């Protein structure tokens, strides 16, 4: 097999970016600034480095990827860190760079305890600010629904953490005796006249309302009409109904990892 798009940017560094989240782990291969390939794996902290090694090695080989020059990782799941570290050294032969304390991000963190902000949130903030160079709110619609605010000057100011759409709907079906799992689609009307439509409305319009309401409240508190970029698995479902989301970028975190890697490689 050949590298699917060919070597259009011959000589550019090949970077593997890994975003480890609570539910899924996303991998992306960049040649220079271009995302060439991406994959999504289940995050399962019981899985060993050898198991992930077989998976990742196969995916890279299957796509005909050139040799990896560098690896950048953001992990919000501490037990996965060691697994990823071993996988990278043993199966790819590269020592990974983990975003965390000691890594230069180029973004001041105005959090009470800067080390408390998880890596993916900083990475998202960096990728978003690189595009807007303006006050920006990032909405990550994943296991949790996480909002991060970057000031006009490019400082990470703080955020909001709400339950994610997927885990909240799972909880509804597990805990409410008479309710059952429904397909996650937008119903025709807000007011449901049967239980399936009522739940679909509550999940889709309810979560859109949660996002729009929190964005509006953050904008009001900071007296700015900040730009709004969304990412995460549920962003494409919610964005068309949202009045605040301007743009969806599925690969925002991977892009931020690339930027941080470049900023640290320059040294």
Among 157, 184, 224, 264, binds another protein (CB under 8 A): 157
Structure tokens at 184: 């996650």
For 160, the token pair is: 């909001």
- Tokens 């990475």 correspond to what residue? 123
What distance in Å separates the CA atoms of residue 148 and residue 168, rounded to the nearest whole number? Answer: 20
Residue 248, SS3 per DSSP = strand
- Give min distance, CB of 129 to another protein, in A: 16
For position 175 contacting another protein by CB under 8 A, the verdict is yes
Q: Provide the β-strand partners of residue 150.
A: 136, 156
Among 94, 162, 184, 224, binds another protein (CB under 8 A): 162
Nearer to another protein, 30 or 149 (CB): 149
| Residue 192 binds to another protein (criterion: CB under 8 A) | yes
Region binding another protein by CB under 8 A among candidate stretches 87-95, 124-132, 151-159, 258-266:
151-159
Q: Is 217 in the site for another protein (CB under 8 A)?
A: yes
Alpha-carbon span 39 to 250, nearest angstrom:
12
Ranges within 52-111 binding another protein (CB under 8 A): 76-79, 110-111
- What gap in Å lies between CA 77 and CA 159, rounded to an integer? 19
Identify the residue whose tokens are 């593997």: 16
Q: Quick check: 116 binds another protein (CB under 8 A)? A: yes
Catalytic residue among 19, 120, 212, 255: 120
DSSP string computed for 7-52: -TTTTSPEEEEEEE-SSEEEEEEEETTEEEEEEEEE--TTS-HHHH
Structure tokens at 46: 């019981």
Interface residues with another protein (CB under 8 A) are 22-23, 76-79, 110-113, 116, 118, 143-145, 147, 149, 157-164, 167-172, 174-179, 189-195, 198-199, 201-203, 205-214, 216-218, 220-222
Catalytic residues: 120
């Amino acid at each position: 097999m050949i590298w699917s798009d060919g070597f259009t940017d011959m000589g550019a560094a090949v970077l593997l970016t890994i975003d480890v989240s609570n539910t899924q782990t996303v991998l992306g291969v960049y040649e220079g600034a271009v995302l060439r390939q991406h994959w999504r794996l289940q995050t399962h902290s019981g899985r060993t480095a050898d198991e992930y090694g077989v998976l990742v090695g196969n995916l890279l080989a299957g796509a005909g990827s050139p040799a990896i020059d560098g690896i950048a990782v953001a992990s919000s799941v501490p037990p996965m860190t060691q697994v990823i570290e071993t996988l990278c050294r043993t199966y790819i032969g590269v020592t990974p760079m983990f975003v965390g304390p000691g890594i230069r991000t180029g973004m001041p963190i105005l959090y009470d305890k800067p080390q408390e902000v998880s890596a993916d949130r900083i990475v998202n903030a960096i990728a978003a600010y690189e595009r807007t160079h303006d006050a920006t709110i990032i909405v990550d619609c994943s296991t949790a629904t996480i909002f991060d605010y970057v000031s006009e000057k490019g400082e990470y100011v703080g955020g909001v953490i709400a339950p994610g759409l997927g885990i909240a709907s799972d909880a509804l079906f597990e805990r409410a005796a008479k309710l059952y799992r429904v397909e996650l689609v937008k119903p025709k009307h807000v007011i449901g006249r049967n239980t399936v439509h009522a739940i679909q409305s509550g999940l889709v319009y309810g979560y859109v309302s949660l996002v729009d309401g929190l964005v509006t409240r953050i904008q009001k508190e900071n007296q700015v009409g900040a730009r709004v970029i969304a990412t995460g698995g549920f962003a494409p479902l919610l964005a068309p109904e949202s009045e605040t989301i301007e743009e969806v970028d599925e690969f925002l975190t991977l892009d931020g990892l690339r930027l941080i890697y470049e900023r640290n490689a320059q040294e």
